[in-house]
Structure formats: C-alpha cells, structure tokens
Structure 1
C-alpha cells in the first residue's frame, strides 16, 4: 500500500544498506521524507513505478563495483535507467549517487575513507536552495567519471564529482549525506572514524536538500 504526501505525491525511499548495524543512515533519510513508503531493495522489494511520483535512493556500505556478488546492484542500475526513461524525479544519496552514475555508464572507484564535514562548491540548482556549502561526507568510494547525460552540480576538494544532475531527466545525485546530523556523530566515529575538523554541525543545512526535492516532485505532479 502506498502513502501520499499532502500534495498527493507518492514518494518511495529505496533502502540500500546491507549491514543491519549501519541502517541508521537509511532511517535518517526516511525520517527526512516521513510520508514516503520505504522499500527494502536489498531484501528483494521493488518500488512500483506505475504510481511513483518520486524516488530517493539511500546510501550503503556496499560498493557499486560489487555487483557480481550482489545481484541487487545490477537491478538498481536497471531501476535508475527506467526512472530516467519514465522521467520520474529521483534523488540519489551517496551510494545512490554512485549507482545512478554507474547505471548511465559512469565510473565509481575506491578512493579512501572521508568521514567529516567538508566544504563544497554548489551550483545554482533548485536542489540546493538555501543549502549552505558545509555538508556531511561519509564515503570510501567516489564517482570519478559522471554517467552519460549527467552534469556536475557539486564539487569538493577530495571529490570533484560531488553531485550530479541529468541534463534532461529529473535525476539529481549527491555524494554527501544530507540526512546526517550531530545526533549520530558518535555512531559515525565508531563505524567510520568520523573526524571533527574546522567545521561544526551548526554550519550545516544540508537537510534542506530533501525539502527541495519534495518541492520539485510536487511541482511536477501539480
């Protein structure tokens, strides 16, 4: 059964985490889109695209290049291509950013772990309205070559392809984690070696990415 937002948009959060101990970041995404239907993609669930107005692809401790041992990754790449074909608004977060670009012929490589607040160069894009340039990053892989049709809309010193947008379809992706807040900092330190550097979570407004995405979905379904 699907659940619609107040503006009658039906959203799906596609959960991609493979480690039960790390599902808190998927929980945080779902909390940011509280009216969305959650889909356990790793567990075999799939979003019904016939009634989907928008889809969010979460992060994961899995790697895109592990598709040979994790068949669901190829399934998600196929899902991305179908979402692009149907022009269903889609937001990819971290692994979601990587799998979306890989699905369109891009390259994802292991680059070493970054787990800290980083400063980004954000393009003038509606997804980033009122989003400050300091954002939470937790990843060991990165997109090194964007997928076909994908323009770079965010960059960081350690990851030049830090966000992308499809040139014709309503597909946006971000390498950073707009759902992460100070509330999970201790978990991040234990699980990923989170480092506190020159920035503070008081500098972060990345959660607005979800509000902006929901607005973009609503505009298309109005």
Structure 2
C-alpha cells in the first residue's frame, strides 16, 4: 500500500491530493497539513508527498520540519518516495537544496527528459501540467536532475542511491479537475497531448511488494 500525504493548507484547494490517491492503486490518503501524525511507515510500500499552496521557506507551519524528517527517514530506510510540486520542493529543501519564489505558472509546459530509462518518467510525454509559483534552483544533497524545462534546470530530480523521485509538475491534474480553483490556461497544448498520470502508475509499479 502507498501512503498519500496531502500537504495542501487551504481546504478550498484540497482536491489534488485525493486525485493522487485516485490514480494510485492500493493507497491510503492522509491530510498531513491538518494531522501531521504520520501513520507507521512500516505499514506502507511507498510514500507520495502532494503539492500545496504553501512555500517551503515560509514560517508558521511547524509540521514542515516534521515532514522533512520523514523525508530523511525514507532516504535512510530506502522507503520509496515521490514528491509532487510542493513535495518536489520540500524533498530537495530537506536535503539542503534551495527553493525560491518564481512567477505563477498554471498551464502546460514542455519538459526534456534527461534519462529516457528513468523508472518514474518512463513513457511520460514531454507535455505536462504545472501549477506552481516556486522553483528548486539548487537540488538537495544526492539529488540529480532527470528532466528540465527552458525555465528550470531541476524540474524533476531523483536521488543517486535511494528510491526517491520528485517532479515539479502535477501528474494528477487532468481535464476532470481543470475547472477547480487553479487559474488554469491550456496555452499552446491540450490534455490530449498529456499522459502525466503515468508517473503515478510507474511509482505504484515500483512499490509493488
């Protein structure tokens, strides 16, 4: 079973965490932003950390440090971990990386995969949906880039030794939720070009006991 941790601090925007669980077979959904008591990790085959409208460098969220400790524990114990958007930023930040504020992006972007054989990005089309205002500009210790965009060199990362991956885009954002609060714009692409949910399928397959 995979533990899905929802880090969204605004209940009005708390619709993407459940979408992660929806696209992840055999998962348990937990709103970490309200209840930072993590279920026993020994009961799970992997962990997914969701997006959030919060920023990792903000004050006022004491559970950030608690979750960063969880990231370090997953690393130490080789528990498979996938960070999505805010999760991507938090994982890298927890390992000493740098995250900065950027302009708001809520649209499709084109990424360039640096390793076609990567476990998590295998088979994922270049067009992916993003909803973010922050960027990882220096990866955490042991994290290496596996995809980039024209505006960011560390769009997706993975750990060199442990089963830890992060993606800046939202694999769970599909046409089904495009009208939810997000200020979304298709731009030059369409959902027909996007199969980003494959990231969640790939991670679930990797975590199979």
Q: TM-score range by the shorter chain?
A: over 0.9
Listed one character per residue, the Cα deviations across residues 130-183 of structure 1 (whole Å, up to 9, x for unaligned) are 110100011000101000000100111122211000000000000000000112
Between stretches 138-147 and 178-187, larger displacement belongs to 178-187
Question: Where do 5+ consecutive residues of structure 1 fail to align?
Answer: 1-9
Residue 26 of structure 2 aligns to a residue in which SS? coil
* Counterpart for residue 207 of structure 1: 197
* Counterpart for residue 75 of structure 1: 66
* Counterpart for residue 150 of structure 1: 143
- TM-score, normalising length: structure 2: 0.95
* Counterpart for residue 3 of structure 1: none
User: How far apart are residue 52 of structure 1 and its match?
Assistant: 2.1
Q: RMSD of aligned C-alpha atoms?
A: 1.1
* Counterpart for residue 45 of structure 2: 53
Between stretches 18-27 and 34-43, larger displacement belongs to 34-43
**Residues 1:156 and 1:47: Cα distance change in structure 2 (over 3 Å):** farther
- TM-score, normalising length: structure 1: 0.90
* Counterpart for residue 64 of structure 1: 56
Count of aligned pairs between the two proteins: 206
Alpha-carbon contact 2:25-2:204 (below 8 Å) kept: no
Question: Where do 5+ consecutive residues of structure 2 fail to align?
Answer: none
* Counterpart for residue 152 of structure 2: 159
4+ residue runs over 6 A deviation: none
